[in-house]
Amino acid sequence: MAYRLFEGKKHAALYLKYRVSPSDHLIQQVLGFLEKQKGRPFELAVDVGCGSGQGTLLLAKHFASVVGTDVSPAQLELALQHAQQANITYRECVAEELPFADSSVDLVTAMTAFHWFDRPRFLQEAHRVLKPRGCLALLSYTMDIELSYRDCCAHTLNQVSQEFYAALKPYRNPHLGPSSIDLYRAAYESIPYPDKEWSVCG
């Protein structure tokens, strides 16, 4: 079962304004893995659940073409306004039925989105569209992090953040279970590819 929560226009506008992009370092790690597995050229990347497209944009300079897909027309509309690079296009579709031919995609990414999908169906679909030795990258962040701000107040900052997330915890969507890192770890362990890499960045 998939969960659809981020589709409205207001939500999409907040995404475009506040969403944190994945770091270049993380994208480089993914590309390094792809290079090792499949080698170049990097022709087609598909960013599934692309939202307002911050992550999709980071892929564009490394691939001949990049397609951002999302179930939400409002998110895709903002993604298109935000980034109009000639090699990026967007498609409205569900993650579990991707509009790509078998064995046609070099890299499939899902950035902070996989946990909302029907996970087993998405994994099968990603497998179908990937070229032999193509790669799937499931990226996300969790709140088990240490915050810092310049030289100041790390202790207070972390205390406030922990209180904030503890207060929200009872409202956590049951589709996610109690821990995001456990959810991703279980997905990672379920994936039967012989070559895979688990990485936690600080």
Ligand X SMILES: C[S@@+](CC[C@H](N)C(=O)[O-])C[C@H]1O[C@@H](n2cnc3c(N)ncnc32)[C@H](O)[C@@H]1O
Interface with ligand X (CB under 6 A): 2, 4, 6-7, 15, 19, 49-51, 54-55, 70-72, 75, 94-95, 111-113, 116-117
One-letter amino acid identity for 34? L
Contact 34, 107 (CB under 8 A): yes
Q: How far is CA 20 from CA 17, 52, 120, 174, in A?
A: 9, 11, 27, 24
Q: How far is CA 95 from CA 12, 36, 92, in A?
A: 18, 26, 10
**Which residue's CB is nearer to ligand X, number 14 or number 153?**
14
Rounded least distance, CB 51 to ligand X, Å: 3
**Which residue's CB is nearer to ligand X, number 15 or number 63?**
15
Rounded least distance, CB 80 to ligand X, Å: 13
Question: Which runs of consecutive H residues, i.e. helices, occur in 83-177?
Answer: 119-129, 154-168
**Which residue's CB is nearer to ligand X, number 12 or number 31?**
12
DSSP, collapsed to helix, strand or coil, labels residue 97 as coil
Residue 102: exposed, middle, or buried by beta-carbon count in 10 A (0-12, 13-18, 19+)?
Answer: exposed
DSSP, collapsed to helix, strand or coil, labels residue 135 as strand
183, HSE (Cβ side, Cα atoms, 13 Å): 22
Q: How far is CA 162 from CA 16, 98, 111, 156, in A?
A: 26, 38, 24, 10
Rounded least distance, CB 49 to ligand X, Å: 3
Rounded least distance, CB 14 to ligand X, Å: 11
**Which residue's CB is nearer to ligand X, number 153 or number 201?**
201
Rounded least distance, CB 151 to ligand X, Å: 30
**Which residue's CB is nearer to ligand X, number 28 or number 159?**
28
Rounded least distance, CB 5 to ligand X, Å: 7
**Which residue's CB is nearer to ligand X, number 23 or number 156?**
23
